[in-house]
Every structure is written in structure tokens, then in C-alpha cells.
């Protein structure tokens, strides 16, 4: 299943794009919330879909994408 986002951030010197990859329960939500400095990602249940959050940290626009990986085998 491919994830599609309607608006990709415009790259410039004051923006940062981060991608968090990992299996369920690997800490993507905690890491994302720590990077963003807020509880932007809810820790209610394991991630089953892709998500994107944006905020400003120290004057830089931060775009954080989280992807849950499903490993077969």
C-alpha cells in the first residue's frame, strides 16, 4: 500500500524534512513527539498508517513523516 501526500514541502534553507521508519512499537511516535517538542502524534494505538506533521522549531519549518513498516516472513 503506497502512501500519498497532497502537499509536499517546498525545500529551502529554513525547512527540514525527516522520515521515521520502523515496525509497530519501535518508538516512531515517541521519537516524532520528541523532535517536534509536542504530542503531535498520539500514542493511543500502534501506527497502522502513514502520517505527516509540521511545526516550527527554532525558526525552521520541520516536516515529519512517519511510516509503519510491515515485515512479512
Nearest in space to 50 (alpha carbons), one of 72, 70, 73, 30: 70
**Complete DSSP assignment for 6-63:** S-PPPP-TTEEEEEEEE-TTSSHHHHHHHHHTS--S--SS---S-EEEEEEETTEEEE
pLDDT value for 5: 47
pLDDT single digits (tens) 27-72: 888 888 888 888 877 766 655 677 888 888 888 888 888 887 776 6
Give the global pTM: 0.62
Q: Where are the domains of the chain?
A: 15-46+58-68
Amino acid at each position: 500500500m503506497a502512501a500519498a501526500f497532497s502537499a509536499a514541502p517546498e525545500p529551502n534553507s529554513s525547512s527540514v524534512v525527516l522520515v521515521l521508519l520502523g515496525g509497530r512499537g519501535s518508538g516512531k511516535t515517541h521519537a516524532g513527539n520528541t523532535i517536534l517538542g509536542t504530542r503531535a502524534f498520539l500514542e493511543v494505538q500502534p501506527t497502522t498508517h502513514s502520517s505527516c506533521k509540521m511545526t516550527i522549531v527554532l525558526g525552521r519549518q520541520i516536516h515529519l513523516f512517519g511510516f509503519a513498516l510491515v515485515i512479512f516472513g
